[in-house]
Amino acid sequence: MKRTLFLLYGVVCYFCFFGTFLYLICFVENFLVPKSIDTGEVVPLSQALLINTLLVALLGVQHSTMARPGFKAWWTRMVPKPIERSTYVLITSALFCLIFWQWRPIPTVIWQVDHSTIRTFLIAVSVMGWGIALYASFLIDHFDLFGLRQVWLYFHGRPYVHPPFKRPPLYRLVRNPLMLGFLIAFWFTPDMTSGHLLFCLLFTTYILVGVSFEERDIERILGEDYRRYRAQTPMLLPWPRRRSLADSRASATSD
């Protein structure tokens, strides 16, 4: 019975995430949803800056703190290990919903592109960014990332094993293509308001800080393979890196 309940819980948490992801797209793109990044109650600038910054900071603290091994060791004394990741995903989704609900627009226009071709291009690149983020999650292990694999293994009475280190195509260009996809989606817009710019700056800062912490934890788990990978592959921007002859040989051997 417990295994079935955990599986159902994991499925519900996953669909909460997926609904939140779809709403995030519409929120940033100002499309379809009743409350988006540029709609809602307009308040004084200082108040909007404070509220919006606190909202993203709250998400950042939760997202980074709950992902740390030390916190997980304490947290799983209360939350069973098979649903720990699903619970993390559910809380993250709830905090995104809080951002959607309480975000204060700052309507001052930074840029507005009226040329139809350029406008279409910017929208297309933004949509491509969302696609990159989703595709990158499937290249590693989408269902492990969002907690479904853990509850599925538990349902079948099999132990959880961390996914092995691998370097699928996008991950050969940058170490964090999922986050790169989000940055592309956030920044490429034909209508940039001050509120949208603040959103981009806050989430860019959060991604840079969060990725740094996350990569340290991954290196502790995966060891030398990931350490070598970090040395050879850019974090977010796919520019080439100089590699020593020894590194090149090691990379060729691992491939």
Q: What is the 3-state secondary structure (H, E, C) of 89-119?
A: HHHHHHHHHHHHHHCCCCCCEEEECCCHHHH
Provide the whole-model pTM: 0.86
Backbone φ and ψ of 164, nearest 5°: -70, 155
DSSP H or E stretch at residue 191: strand 191-193
% of residues, the chain, pLDDT over 70: 94
Give 218's pLDDT tier (boundaries 50, 70, 90): confident
The pLDDT of residue 95 is 96
Average pLDDT, the chain: 88
Give 219's pLDDT tier (boundaries 50, 70, 90): confident
86: CB partners within 8 A, 6+ apart: 9, 10, 13, 14, 146, 147, 148, 150, 151
Could you tell me which of 206, 232, 230, 236 has the C-alpha nearest to residue 218?
230
Could you tell me which of 60, 51, 27, 52 has the C-alpha nearest to residue 208?
60
Core vs surface per residue 231-253: b (16+ CB within 10 A) or e: ebbeebeeeeeeeeeeeeebbee
In this prediction, residues 105-120 reach a mean pLDDT of 94
Distance CA 68, CA 75 (A): 10
Give 240's pLDDT tier (boundaries 50, 70, 90): low
Tokens encoding 238: 């796919």
246: CB partners within 8 A, 6+ apart: none
Distance CA 17, CA 187 (A): 22
β-strand partners of 112 = 191
In this prediction, residues 213-232 reach a mean pLDDT of 82
The answer, yes or no, to whether residue 225 has pLDDT greater than 70, is yes
Amino acid (1-letter code) at residue 157: G
Give 154's pLDDT tier (boundaries 50, 70, 90): very high
The answer, yes or no, to whether residue 124 has pLDDT greater than 70, is yes
% of residues, the chain, pLDDT over 90: 63
End-to-end CA distance of the chain: 44
In this prediction, residues 148-174 reach a mean pLDDT of 88
Tokens encoding 68: 């740390």
